[in-house]
Amino acid sequence: MKRILAVLVAGLMVGAIAAHAKLPAPPAQSDADKAAAAEKAAAAKAKDADLLSKAQDRAVANYRKNKGVSMAPEKKAAKK
């Protein structure tokens, strides 16, 4: 029991020391890197929008095919 307690206390001490360690500052991005990242994000957003549009078109076509919905307007029946 004492051994487990000693290991636990030692682990907590190491964790506390590691938590106070300072990390180096991240490298600064240049304007070219920022522009490239923005262009890449815009391209990814456009691709996602295109894929969403195609998926929605497929879903609508599948619904119309299976439910028998046609694109032609229905003719109203004359009342008697």
- Tens-digit pLDDT profile for residues 20-36: 777 788 888 899 999 99
User: Can you read off the two tokens belonging to residue 66?
Assistant: 């299976």
pLDDT at residue 59 in the model: 94
Average pLDDT over residues 39-53: 98
Q: How many angstroms from the chain centroid is the CA of residue 53?
A: 17
pLDDT at residue 15 in the model: 82
Residue 55 pLDDT level (bands cut at 50, 70, 90): very high
Residue 16 pLDDT level (bands cut at 50, 70, 90): confident
Taking the C-alpha atoms of residue 53 and residue 45, their distance in angstroms, rounded to an integer, is 12
